[in-house]
């Protein structure tokens, strides 16, 4: 199983969904609650599986953290779920873009020859096709 560690799109989408539901229900969120939701969304995005609609599981937890009334939660969840297939594509595009930037930065920092970002860890492994025993020395 793989987990995405750089899920910017997901962490940006959660607070927007919570604010949408709160505004739809005419429920006011304090600045402290908004900040709490932003931090929780960032932490939740680290554990979100990189599959479609996986983030909707965390939406319920964020609703409870924001203390949004139950009737507004159900209506907000239903409305968000109907358009989540489109929202997911935007979030995925953001995740791919940020991952690409990160790869570019690492490639620039570590050089762009045949080596790559992991070359400092793999310098003693030998070349592909070598049959001699190699040891990794850190």
pLDDT digits (tens, 9 = 90+) for 80-93: 999 888 888 887 78
The mean per-residue pLDDT over the stretch 54-61 comes to: 84
Q: Per-residue confidence at 1, pLDDT binned at 50, 70, 90?
A: very low
Q: For position 50, what pLDDT does the model report?
A: 67
The Cα 47–Cα 2 span in angstroms is 10
| Exposed e or buried b per residue across 78-116, where buried means at least 16 C-beta atoms within 10 angstroms of its C-beta | eebeeebeebbeebbebbeeeeeeeeeeeeeeeeeeeee
Q: At what angle do helices 8-24 and 70-110 cross, to 10 degrees?
A: 160
Distance of alpha carbon 73 from alpha carbon 7, whole angstroms = 24
10 versus 16: which is more confidently predicted? 16
């Amino acid at each position: 199983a793989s987990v995405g560690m750089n899920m910017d799109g997901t962490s940006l989408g959660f607070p927007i969904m919570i604010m949408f539901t709160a505004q739809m229900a005419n429920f006011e969120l304090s600045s402290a609650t908004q900040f709490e939701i932003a931090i929780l969304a960032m932490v939740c995005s680290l554990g979100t599986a990189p599959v479609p609609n996986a983030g909707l599981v965390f939406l319920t937890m964020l609703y409870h953290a924001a203390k949004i009334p139950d009737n507004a939660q159900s209506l907000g969840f239903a409305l968000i779920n109907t358009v989540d297939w489109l929202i997911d594509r935007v979030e995925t595009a953001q995740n791919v873009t940020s991952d690409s930037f990160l790869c570019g930065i690492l490639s620039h920092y570590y050089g762009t020859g045949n080596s790559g970002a992991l070359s400092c860890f793999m310098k003693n492994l030998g070349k592909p096709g070598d049959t001699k025993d190699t040891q990794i020395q850190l």
